[in-house]
Structure 1
Amino acid sequence: MDVDEARLLCDYASDYLEVRRLADFAPETFEELLLSIYPRKVIAPPESARETLAAARTLVDFLQTAGHVPGSTAVRMRATLDRVEPEMPAALADTSRYGMAKSIFSAIGPEALDDPTPVTLAPGPRADEAPIGDAHELCDCAACSPLPAVRLAGRAGLAAAAREVPLLADTHRLAEWMLAEGRVPTVKGGLRVKDAAAASAALALPEPALLWGLAVHTGVLTVAGASVAAGGAFAPRDEDHLLDLWAGTVGFLVEQATAGRVTGSAALDDRLYDLCDMLYRVQVPVMTQVVAEHLAESGVGGDGGEVPDLGRAVARLAYCGLVEVVRGDMLTLTPLGVWGMRELYRDLGIDAPEAPDLAGAGAHDLIDALLSGVPAEQAEHDIARWLAHRTPEGAAADLLAAAGGKPAVARGLAVTIVDRLGAEAEPAVRGHLADPELRPYVIHWLTSRRLPTPALTQEELLWMSVDMLALAMPAAGDDLDEFAANIAASGPPAHMIEEMWRVDHPDVAEVLELLGRALTDDTVAKIARKAAFKARSRSIG
């Protein structure tokens, strides 16, 4: 088996199809990889499909023999590959499936650089990958790792969600039952054992001692006007009171000594603040397996201690309103959880910034905010809301105007968002044909929608290739190996790299030096380094 080909299959499955473990491979994963991802990303002739399919079949054999997938799944995987086999060569040759980078780099053959006639780009789909920014680094110490800015749900929506939290409803039920029954707590305010047993029997309440502790901590017993509604939800006096109650609830759950009554594990209860802090910082759903590894690294269950039942713990935290499970086995804080943790940070004197609502922001502010380090999932939400408040033509006009004079990474983000827009945006997009920095992107946008367009010159194609590589430089600085793998799969050919030094682009020397470091082909890497020297020499002269 071609090891590099198999590695590329796994890399693309991880990057684009959320395959985090080998056991996550499914029959449809291979169909998506070979008929969608490969044709869009990889520069390869149709006849190479045979080698790729052979690597895929060997990978399936490995997945089965290593026990990552059962035999029945492996059979369905092989059937999928048999069905894909006659379609893949045509998919690799279909220019309408090319992504932007592949369209550009495939448009220039070795002979084209000596040909003064313009080159027409092959039509392609809209690009959908933008360098949105990196997720924030995690740190065990909040004092030395600033908290990221977070988007908060509106107060009305938060209050509505709090009314549906089973933990709060059960707390009120217990408090009202205690009052109605004339039962009194212990001298220290705790729940008597006999009262806990009676409450469990009468109300079917889980962990009545936890509920009573929460009731005392949050002052539920002294709140006038609180009552349990017919659906199990409760209706306190007003929205402000309800959110104050929720803030106190979060503080109680993550800071008090609850001895395992929250999650079912005393060790996990002790680290609940750390768990919620981790989820708050990453701002995106995290696989439960990763959560388990994070807890193990932090000492939960280590050195012979109890190993918590994570499934049970997650169910209890969902009952408490702190977390929710999305997309099968991904864990994230609920909007209530995010709001409550931020309130807790503020009470502790920790700076917990709120990210502004970008829906009404100008294009300049949108671009700057997205480039400040917003996680990709949050960025997608922000972009969707921003576009929803504008017509396609208006959005394109604002974004392209904001891209003028910006660095490559900002320009790339702007044109990538514009690339999502339909033909209704044509007047605004076409209006930037005279802008030398945007013209190549405008032509690609028009071409991919099969709209009338001029052809790109060789000089414009080279400039655009340098610009696209320039916008990838920040990410390459963080992970050069991943950049090298991507550039090997869908980067510019050697003859193109050799001519890049002639491009009048402010980042051309840095781009070529990056290629010289990243390219795994020694011959092509040497070409890139020589071209970088020429670019530096030209700028000095």
Structure 2
Amino acid sequence: MPRRPLTAARRTATTRRSRPPRPPEGTPPLDRLARLARTELADAVRLARWAGTGPGTAGPTGILPDDAAEQAAAALTLTRSQIRTAWDRARLSGLIELHGGTARPGWRLRAWDTDDTAVLRGWVALFDAWSLAHPFLPGPAAGPDPALVAEVVEAAPQLLSFLHLSDEPVPIDTLLDLLRQRVAELRAERHEPPADAAGDEPDPLPALLDWTLDALARVGALRPRDTERPDEVTLTAIGSWAVWVKLEQICVAAQGPAGHMEQSAETMLRASARLSPGPARDEYRAWLAARPVAPAVSELLETARGDDALLRGLAFEALRVVGDPAESAVRDVVDEPTLRPYAVLWLAELDGGDPDTATGLLTREEATWLWIDTAAAVADHGEDHLLVSHLETAVQGSVPGLLEEVRNVGHPRTVQVLVALAAAHPDPALAKAMRRAAFQVHTGEA
């Protein structure tokens, strides 16, 4: 029996992506943008490398303890405040990963000097998390309603889009008017009262806008205020590029072909199963664009935990469209037996690994479990000849070897898969062996 990686079956259902659109005229080339990102994250990279060779202890909450911060500050000739900031940036950009309270270099750090795409993705991850990198601190007095702070964060993409489309410095008063309008829209959508200041209390929105603009400038998305024109702001080159990328993603997502943007993840994935790979990815993008990333990722993973193996595979295909923002959630499920093989392969591909070799990260049992799960999807939703062809993707070198391991792997669909294979296989001897194996698993003889 010819041996092929388990991912071969999935690769037959993928197509080459179309050429990406060109960025606006005047946008620096990617290598120059990557240099800007490397400069912005230089201290975070130094700290991540120190954490990989030094103590690196982060504690269960991921916060760097005072003694470790002191050691890092002395080793890197930075202040403790700079170390705290660099630590947060390293975590948010994927330069540092936490494992059991210990900080280890992330995959992006390993690719930092050679892979411009990894560098830009790391900076965009920090850009997306600007409100976490520089959280709003109200000071000793009581600050604004936390719900209002969350609404300002939710409104920030519209402010950034306006700055990008303006392509010139924008007065802060204009942005404040736009922020008021967007917050009012968000409150109206949720049937909540307006966010006007109550009584003699000052209007909190100007201070929140200042915080937003300052935080975005500190991550490198906005230029520092010009002393001659302090009442205007403008995007940096890399900030404008990042906003353009996100606007392009929204435009593509808005073209969802099947019209399931408002449906559940399960309904959307079932509809996408009938589409060819390209339109299916468009449908994933449209569905993802209609909701916040974190709840969308959680819903996809919850769908993947269900009984339908096809939806499990499709959920991880949709998570491939999500990309980096889903990394933390996928890592959290890597120890769940049902999801582990999919999560391991997903993380390996995110790390830039070759899908054909990523299966080497799975144990033999995990690879066999994944083979059965894929076979269950084919048996439920495919045709007999596809099920027979699926035999070629097994890691075992023969059908008897496959059957020996399948009987012991403990997949809940093993019996149904073996019965379906026996019914579909044209070789009577092999079909008989499969029926016998199915009987042994059913009766507990395996």
TM-score band w.r.t. shorter chain: 0.3 to 0.5
Q: TM-score, normalised by structure 2?
A: 0.36
Normalised by the size of structure 1, how large is the TM-score?
A: 0.30
